[in-house]
Chain A
């Protein structure tokens, strides 16, 4: 990252592309991510140690929630000063690096087995989400391309899918801004609701992780929602979400061809190149590290070390999830896209929960 144009996914101005930022310019924000994430870890340990010392049974709240809450508190009170913003925007970079490193904690057989079940569920979720969101958007008389962006965002992978689709279907910046705001706000709400529902229903780590990976749209929030439940649930959530991410190119290509046929987007000349451009490369990285772990490239202590590196990368990500969420800016984006998104998300969450129960019953996950 010698020099890069940092695209902020900050709600309110989600599609804004800032001027190129030097690597040194990223350091303050990355340090802030580290401080907020580590503060979350410190609070988790402090509460556990305090409970032990005073013979108290205190709830074990994972550092993930503390990091997100501290980030939310900063971003929604004093705000994130300009000097930190470009570095904070790197949280998605750490998320992707963390997912690649997480491959060391999966043997390829696990990936194939879990990924197989996930792929079947994802195919069902994808068709349901695309159909339902399209129907709902039309019923609420949203603009057709905004409907497409909301459908893509809620069925595949949130912000990345919306950004990928925006360019491919020549959608307005304003439309993608609405869609991203709706997906991010709903993602933030799901961070708090999903673990609660999981505990109330006594879901296993596996079933909960699969549900979070299927129903939470943005990859960072899906990873956090899984990790908030347990470490094992976090792993499964990432795997299911990664399978969902892998479909991004195909769905965006379908929509690009559809809008081009209506004369409202550019024709796709080379479909293979289009798919490769849109395909999330970190999915390949994850599979390659998993393959290396499977063929014995690492010793056991090395696998632990790589797994821990992935945890540190996720710590930066979770801090960024809180720091980039400005609830006031999100609420300014208008009610209708949010209502469509919320109704769609609730229906998708309930259906995917049913799918996960069914898969658990059939395949004994």
Chain B
């Protein structure tokens, strides 16, 4: 009889909205820094 593992696995659903927002913002920052995104108009 195997018991379910008590170890919590990190899945996409366990990452908070806050953390996703920070990750997306940093991805954008890096894209700008390394020249992939240029001249963002406003």
Contact = CB atoms under 8 A, between A and B. Distances in A.
A92 B17 contact: yes
A305 B25 contact: no
Given A93-B21, A281-B16, A309 B33 contact: no
B12 A3 contact: yes
Interface of A: 1-5, 20, 92-98, 100-101, 104, 280-282, 284-285, 288-289, 292, 297-298, 301-302, 304-306, 308-309, 311-313
A1 B16 CA distance: 9
B32 A302 contact: yes
Interface of A, helix, strand, loop or mixed by DSSP = helix
A308 B29 contact: no
User: 5 shortest A-B CB distances, which residue pairs?
Assistant: A96-B21, A100-B25, A285-B22, A308-B40, A281-B18
Nearest to A101: B25
A101 B28 contact: yes
Interface of B: 12-13, 16-22, 24-26, 28-29, 32-33, 37-42
A306 B21 contact: no
Interface of B, helix, strand, loop or mixed by DSSP = helix
Contacts of A302: 32-33
Given A282-B22, A308-B42, A312-B42, A289 B29 contact: yes
Given A96-B17, A281-B16, A305 B39 contact: yes
Contacts of B13: 2-5, 20
Contacts of B42: 308, 311-312
Contacts of A4: 12-13, 17
Contacts of B16: 281
Contacts of A20: 13
A289 B37 contact: no
Nearest to A288: B26
Contacts of A100: 21-22, 25-26
Nearest to A297: B33
Contacts of A3: 12-13
B15 to A, nearest CB: 9
B19 to A, nearest CB: 5
A304 B33 CA distance: 11
